[in-house]
Amino acid sequence: MRARRSAGTTRAFGDHEDRACRPVAAGTNASVESFVESLTRGNPTEVKVVLASVATALAVYQLVLICVAYAKLRPRFLAGEAAGRAHRASGDAIVVLLVVVAVMCLGYFGIEDDGALHAATGAALLVVLAVKVVVLRWWHAAGRMLPVLGGLVFGLLALTWASSAGAFLAG
């Protein structure tokens, strides 16, 4: 069981423990905390777990779509161009989800020593994601790097999810 803080309310999360991201005791921006608290109706951890899990599941689907786009898979019902467009559209959704999760994580939960792996993989994920967006939108000469960057994004996302939301769901 875990006690809630700041607003003076006591709140339990069952027996689960989000090991990587725990609420910070002091020094964080109270307005961000209360905003996240009210936006999630007092369930920031649960909302973060759901959003991160949705992003990870979509990332797996992204792998399938990009395999079709690069003609590594050739299903009859889906052309490469359509798969590529769908990959971009759901990729944009994933970026939004990840930014929201990152803001919640940093603004509400903060960083603790025992969440070092989660913090490192999360920070690396955002950096690699930013590089990928730059390559896609402006730095077309580096287009050859896209498969590597995509693989890195997926790997880092899977690690970040497993070190926080996955551990939380596993209890």
112 binds other proteins (CB under 8 A): no
83 binds other proteins (CB under 8 A): yes
How wide is the angle at C-alpha 110 spanned by C-alphas 168 and 131, nearest 5°?
90
Nearest distance in Å: CB 11, other proteins: 6
Segment near other proteins (CB under 8 A); pick from 52-60, 112-120, 139-147, 155-163? 52-60
Beta-carbon contacts of residue 155 (< 8 Å; ≥ 6 apart): none
The tokens for 166 are: 């996955």
* Count of residues interacting with other proteins (CB under 8 A): 30
81 binds other proteins (CB under 8 A): yes
65 binds other proteins (CB under 8 A): yes
Say which amino acid occupies 21. Answer: C
Of 17, 34, 38, 61, which one interacts with other proteins (CB under 8 A)?
61
Of 53, 95, 117, 131, which one interacts with other proteins (CB under 8 A)?
53
22 binds other proteins (CB under 8 A): no
From CA 131, how far away is CA 110, in angstroms rounded? 24
Beta-carbon contacts of residue 43 (< 8 Å; ≥ 6 apart): none
90 binds other proteins (CB under 8 A): yes
Segment near other proteins (CB under 8 A); pick from 25-33, 84-92, 106-114, 118-126? 84-92
Segment near other proteins (CB under 8 A); pick from 55-63, 105-113, 116-124, 148-156? 55-63
13 binds other proteins (CB under 8 A): yes
Q: What sections of 13-144 are H helices per DSSP?
A: 30-39, 44-69, 80-104, 116-137
Burial grade of 96 (CB within 10 A; 0-12, 13-18, 19 or more) = exposed
28 binds other proteins (CB under 8 A): no
169 binds other proteins (CB under 8 A): yes
Listed residue (104, 106, 98) closest to 127, CA to CA:
98
